[in-house]
Amino acid sequence: MSSYFTDLAQQYIDGEWRSGTGSWDIIDFNPYDGEKLASITIATVDEVDEAYQAAARAQKKWAATNPYARRAVFEKALRVIEEREQEITEVIIAELGGTHLKAGFELHLAKEFLREAIQLALRPEGKIIPSPVDGKENRVYRVPVGVVGVISPFNFPFLLSLKSVAPALALGNAVVLKPHQNTPICGGSLVAKILEDAGLPAGLLNVVITDIAEIGDAFIEHPIPKVISFTGSDKVGRHVATVCAANFKRSVLELGGNSALVVLDDADIDYAVDAAVFSRYVHQGQVCMAANRVLVDRSVADEFTEKFVAKVRTLKVGDPSDPQTVIGPVINSSQADALSATVEQAIAEGATALVHGTTTDNLVEPSVLTGLPADSALLRQEVFGPVAFLVPFDGEAEAVRLVNDTPYGLSGAVHTGNIERGVNFAKQIDTGMFHVNDGTVHDEPIVPFGGEKNSGLGRLNGETMLDSFTTLKWISVQHGRSGFPF
């Protein structure tokens, strides 16, 4: 494993592994034990420019490459990941503090999305559209946008980098990738190494490991990229969208959430408990789709609460390399401190801690809170960690109002003994995704993924990748002579 953190602790620009020329280093730490994994000299504005220039040079030839030949690169990349699965698992555990369960989940989805990228290479189709002008043929071509900038987050960095990078490349674009500074290997150079070993020509994927303290808005303002695909917080996403709009770029934004899992009065309580515990505590709750809020009909609240608390108390917290661990560390100390402050704020506002987890370094034990005042800001914001708010309600109408009472609209779930009741409930929720009798955390390669309100703009996955990473071009052909009025 250590060789990954040694060999890949570099920038990857125009097919070359090289050091950045910045005046300081990003230090990559293991969030569980604080071990220094890698030291990477940051990329400067000049290197960002070099990466985009390399991408632009390589893109035209790649776009003209037979899509069957492009497809072969991703077929090989899938085999590379399968061959190195154990090593990649170890890197995810070390760099993210991800558990074995989480690493397996991320790798499974990464392979599924690569399989979809293989198919996507052959997906673009043109059209011939009728014209009111005699003898005119209207051809509409679907073409690559050119160069795509991708900014990936720290929570599922390997998956969420590949999720934009592979489709963008498969559709004939070139890419410059900026991973989160807490996960530069999983989210950046590891992706580059896999695609390099799979035969991706030099220049088509470039990785710049840097920080906005060094480059400011240079990554998103640069004139070469036509699309910026960003996954992260709504605060940063708003800024990305603003800068993109000012520079006539398209932005694809996958942002935060404040999802609710709703338990109606006819739900299977034991099953709902299992779904709710997973939806809140998977990967320490550092998931945009996580169920921040668990809303329970008052008629079943006592039974649900007792069973939910009992199950949460069984979750093993500790070393993520231990296969029995369910909750490992959060990504860094500032995140751990913020979560502790959130719990204390909730209690100060009048909430009762049914489970009051302690924090040791970056290990944040799960907390379960109830009785938070209805007007508390905590119920409307994203909490990125293992803290659950239990909220009772009286009847469906109140549940709908409570679920929608947030600036976010990403995911959610409802549990009921009546499927159509669940579907009708889901239709009333302002989200991009909602699940009946399941958890809130789902992602599938061909189903549109994205949110409403502050949870983002645009969609990823399947056919929606065509909308994100290609554009339409009209070419008309006049057969015979056209007539002109003068």
Ordered DSSP codes for 411-432: --EEE-S-HHHHHHHHHTS--S
- State mean pLDDT over 152-173: 98
Q: How far apart are CA 325 and CA 100, in angstroms?
A: 8
Q: How far apart are CA 145 and CA 73, in angstroms?
A: 20
Paired residues of 38 in beta bridges: 28
Return mean pLDDT, the chain. 97
Which of helix, strand or coil describes residue 476? strand
CA separation, residue 184 to residues 96, 356, 429 (Å): 10, 33, 36
pLDDT band at 18 (very low <50, low <70, confident <90, very high): very high
Paired residues of 472 in beta bridges: 142
- Dig out the tokens for 165 from the structure: 């990078």
Whether residue 269 sits in one domain with residue 233: no
Beta strand pairing call for 127-129 and 136-144: antiparallel
pLDDT band at 130 (very low <50, low <70, confident <90, very high): very high
Percentage of the chain modeled with pLDDT above 70: 100
| Domains: count for the chain | 2
> Which of 178, 196, 197 minimizes the C-alpha distance to 188?
178
Whether residue 268 sits in one domain with residue 249: no
Whether residue 2 has pLDDT greater than 70: no
Whether residue 55 has pLDDT greater than 70: yes
Whether residue 284 sits in one domain with residue 298: yes
Contact 269, 304 (CB under 8 A): yes
pLDDT band at 323 (very low <50, low <70, confident <90, very high): very high
Whether residue 135 sits in one domain with residue 182: yes
Per-residue b or e along 438-447, where b marks 16 or more CB atoms closer than 10 Å to that residue's CB:
bbbbebebee
Whether residue 198 sits in one domain with residue 169: yes
Would residue 218 count as lying in a domain? yes
pLDDT band at 52 (very low <50, low <70, confident <90, very high): very high
Whether residue 142 sits in one domain with residue 32: yes
Whether residue 381 has pLDDT greater than 70: yes
- State mean pLDDT over 45-70: 98
Q: How far apart are CA 89 and CA 69, in angstroms?
A: 29
What CATH number is given to the structural domain containing 138? Answer: 3.40.605.10
pLDDT at site 25:
97
pLDDT at site 208:
98
Contact 332, 350 (CB under 8 A): no
What CATH number is given to the structural domain containing 379? Answer: 3.40.309.10
- State mean pLDDT over 419-436: 98
Whether residue 369 has pLDDT greater than 60: yes
Q: pLDDT tens across 390-418, in order?
A: 999 999 999 999 999 999 999 999 999 99
- Would you call 86 exposed, middle or buried from its count of C-beta atoms within 10 A (0-12, 13-18, 19+)? exposed
- State mean pLDDT over 79-97: 97
Catalytic residue list = 254, 288
Contact 385, 408 (CB under 8 A): no
- Dig out the tokens for 235 from the structure: 């605060």
pLDDT band at 1 (very low <50, low <70, confident <90, very high): low
> Among all chains, which residue has been given the structure tokens 């505590």?
281
pLDDT band at 331 (very low <50, low <70, confident <90, very high): very high
Whether residue 87 sits in one domain with residue 71: yes
pLDDT at site 303:
98
Whether residue 446 has pLDDT greater than 80: yes
- Could you tell me the residue range of the domain that residue 406 belongs to? 259-436
pLDDT at site 66:
97
The type of residue at 296 is: V
Whether residue 405 sits in one domain with residue 469: no
